[in-house]
Amino acid sequence: MAELSELRRRIDDIDARIFDLFTQRAEVAEGVAAYKRESGIRVFDPARERAKVADAAARVPDDLATYAQVMMEVLMEASRARQHELLGDVAEDDTLRRINAARAATPELFPPSARVACQGVEGAYSQIAAEKIFRRPQIAYSPTFDGVFSAVEQGLARYGVLPLENSTAGSVNQLYDLMMEHSFHIVRTTRVKVDHNLLANAGATLSGLRDIYSHEQAISQCAEFLSGLPDVRVHVCENTAVAAQRVAESGRTDAAALSSLPCADLYGLQVLSASVQDRDNNYTRFACISKELEVYPGADRTSFMIVLPHEPGSLYKLLAKFYALDINLLKLESRPIPERDFEFMFYFDLECPVAAPEFSSLMATIGGLCQECRYLGSYAEVL
Point out which residues bind ligand ISJ (CB under 6 A): 29, 32, 43-45, 48-49, 52, 75-76, 79-80, 83
Closest CA to 104 of 288, 294, 291, 290: 294
The minimum distance between CB 183 and ligand ISJ, in angstroms, equals 31
Query: In residues, how long is the chain?
Result: 383
- Least CB distance from residue 86 to ligand ISJ, whole Å? 11
Minimum distance from CB of 64 to ligand ISJ (Å)?
19
Q: Are 185 and 103 in contact (CB under 8 A)?
A: no
H/E stretch holding 348 reads strand 344-351
Which CB atom, from 70 or from 75, has the smaller least distance to ligand ISJ? 75
Given the complex with ligand ISJ, which of 7 and 51 has the nearer CB atom? Answer: 51
Q: How far is the CB of 121 from ligand ISJ (least distance, A)?
A: 54
Residues with catalytic annotation? Answer: 284, 286
Residue (52 or 103) nearer to ligand ISJ, CB: 52
Residue closer to ligand ISJ by CB (options 4, 58) is 58
Q: Which run of H or of E encompasses 328?
A: strand 328-336
- Nearer to ligand ISJ (CB atom), residue 118 or residue 370: 370
Query: Cβ atoms within 10 A of the Cβ of 366, count?
Result: 21
Q: How far apart are CA 163 and CA 175, in angstroms?
A: 8
Question: How far from chain centre, in Å, is Cα 110?
Answer: 21
Smallest distance, Å, CB 261 to ligand ISJ? Answer: 57
CA 20 vs CA 14, 15, 49, 367: distances in Å: 10, 8, 22, 31
Quick one: 80 or 188, whose CB is closer to ligand ISJ?
Answer: 80
Using CB positions, name the residue nearest to ligand ISJ.
79
Are 293 and 102 a contacting pair, CB within 8 Å? yes
DSSP string, 198-242: EEE-TT--STT--EEEEEHHHHHHTHHHHHT-TT-EEEEES-HHH
Residue 361: which of 50, 92, 48, 41 has the closest Cα?
92
Query: For residues 87 and 32, is the Cβ–Cβ distance under 8 A?
Result: no
What are the b/e assignments for 316-349, b being 16+ CB within 10 Å? ebbebbbebbebeeeeebebeeeeeeeebbbbbb
Kindly state the smallest distance separating residue 25's Cβ from ligand ISJ, in Å: 7
